[in-house]
Structure 1
Amino acid sequence: MSYKTTLAPGMVLARGVGRCLSSLGFAPLTEFVPARGLRVDVIALGPKGEIWVIECKSSRSDFTSDQKWQGYLDWCDRFFWAVDPSFPTEILPGDAGLMLGDGYGAEILRMPEAAPLTAARRKAVTQGFARQAALRLARLHDPNVNLAEF
């Protein structure tokens, strides 16, 4: 019996972004919720504590229908768009970073300027990151464990 799963295009791109970030020494986490009503595609914690948020867009309509992305800027030191090679990059805001990728990897085409978080916000994001990552790891070891979401 073979097992095959089909990922949505954005999740395929997020996998490649995660591989790129890992190669740079970052710890990536997908589907992170920094605050109620927000869910970033990828957040990454760097070796020096820096926090990057990456939004993966699979099409023009995926980008134009996203009304929340500016709310993500308050939760990271650097913000990036990640798209595949066929995406019309000219429609993306020029002050954000840009990654080009696929399901196997990605590369940074444009590095955004850093907008460092305040110490209190950095602590909150880092603790939320650690908690969500630990809860996911616990579920891998015991899918039936009763863990409270936050």
Structure 2
Amino acid sequence: MDLQYVNFFAVAVLAAVIGVTLIVVHLSQRKLRAELTQLREELALWQKAGLHAPRAVAAAEPDARPSQAQGAPMAPAPQPLSEEQIRERLQQAAGAGEAPERYRHVVTLADKGLAPEEIARVLQVSSAEAQQLVRLAEVGRKKS
């Protein structure tokens, strides 16, 4: 075999490897851009709500919130609502045109599979309030 043919095949293989590498890099960048856009939108939503961006649930420590033993006053738990009151509140919110921000956050977090206790920790509300908001979300889903 002539040296000229060997060089040609070596250059062709090198060009093919470079082409495949460029395609893989392009596809991964496109995927990362989509994820980045989604994360930016979520961060903007959290900032609009006046809250800090949520920490990863696995990284959040259960003792990160101040407890009563540390002297932090706890807000009284809200009274449970009846189905009638829940429906009435949902209808009032629907009449306003847009669901309250906290309710939308609860719906999003519940859809991601978080338990009411985890939602309470992320949104910095009481467990009872988080459970009521999750119930509201369930009633809202049934209604629509």
Give the TM-score category using the shorter length. Answer: under 0.3
TM-score normalised by the chain length of structure 1? 0.24
Bigger radius of gyration among the two: 2
Hey, which of these two has a bigger chunk of helix by percent?
A: 2
